[in-house]
A and B are shown apart, each in its own frame.
Chain A
Amino acid sequence: GAVVSQHPSWVICKSGTSVKIECRSLDFQATTMFWYRQFPKQSLMLMATSNEGSKATYEQGVEKDKFLINHASLTLSTLTVTSAHPEDSSFYICSARKGENYSNQPQHFGDGTRLSIL
């Protein structure tokens, strides 16, 4: 089955530091990956769509200069939370879909990264 690996699983850091989260598709290539954020007791909210070889597409209200996305290869996308503050503490989840765009394939999700900013 398709596997998406996310690293790290959790991170605690001081306010003002930058944190990088990696999302890898282990056994398939993904031209598009997605980044979500989930606050406690809430649903997943899409932050941005990461496109290999081009700029990410951000959802309304998501600061692109704060949440930097790089889709360096067909198997790796990274999300960097720059100058993180306590309000950025959340559960960050990535996903990827096998196959061509708009394919019938489902999305496969990483296990998420729990970010806590002190």
Chain B
Amino acid sequence: DAKTTQPNSMESNEEEPVHLPCNHSTISGTDYIHWYRQLPSQGPEYVIHGLTSNVNNRMASLAIAEDRKSSTLILHRATLRDAAVYYCILSPTQGGSEKLVFGKGTKLTVNP
């Protein structure tokens, strides 16, 4: 399974943008980049995913490097409810395994 590397923790202030980085240097051409987040005592929640182009949805934006070896999840205006552990995971679309392998993720703290 291709691995991802994320900082253990990050801190942000409320209503400021947050950029959460993820390195995935061994990504294959058919791997999608998925982001999930987990709030305390809850199951993970899907945030966003993409393949090559940058993606936007109501929750966040995903910026993918041209060589696809890294990506950045962007929360445009952090709120206290965004405090969670954010996981960057590679998901294959052919061959390999369909399972998601969770790393340690980045624990985001949002200060009021």
Given known A43-B105, A102-B92, A102-B94, contact A93–B99 (CB-CB < 8 A): no
B100 surroundings in chain A (CB, below 8 A): 34, 46, 95, 107
Q: What DSSP secondary structure best describes chain A's contact surface?
A: strand
> In angstroms, how far is the closest chain B Cβ from the Cβ of A30?
12
Q: Which residues in window 61-118 of A have CB below 8 A to B?
A: 91, 93, 95, 97, 101-104, 106-112, 114
CB-defined contacts of B45 to chain A, threshold 8 Å: 109
Residue A25 at the chain B interface, CB threshold 8 Å: no
**Docked-complex contact B99 and A44, CB < 8 angstroms:** no
A34 touches B43 (CB 8 A): no
Q: A102-B92, A102-B94, A104-B93 in contact; A46/B43 too (CB < 8 A)?
A: no
- Verify B43–A112 contact, CB threshold 8 A: yes
Q: Is the interface of B mostly helix, strand, loop or mixed?
A: loop
In whole angstroms, what is the CA distance A20 to B87 when docked? Answer: 28
Scoring B residues 15 to 35 as 1 if CB is less than 8 Å from chain A, else 0, what string do you get? Answer: 000000000000000001010
Q: Taking A101-B98, A107-B100 as contacts, is the C-beta distance between A44 and B92 under 8 angstroms?
A: no
27 A-B residue pairings within 8 Å (CB atoms): A6-B43, A36-B102, A43-B87, A43-B105, A44-B38, A46-B99, A46-B101, A46-B102, A49-B98, A93-B43, A93-B44, A95-B43, A97-B98, A101-B98, A102-B92, A102-B98, A104-B32, A104-B93, A106-B34, A106-B46, A107-B36, A107-B100, A109-B44, A109-B46, A111-B42, A112-B41, A114-B41
User: Residues on A close to B: CB < 8 A?
Assistant: 4, 6, 32, 34, 36, 43-46, 49, 91, 93, 95, 97, 101-104, 106-112, 114
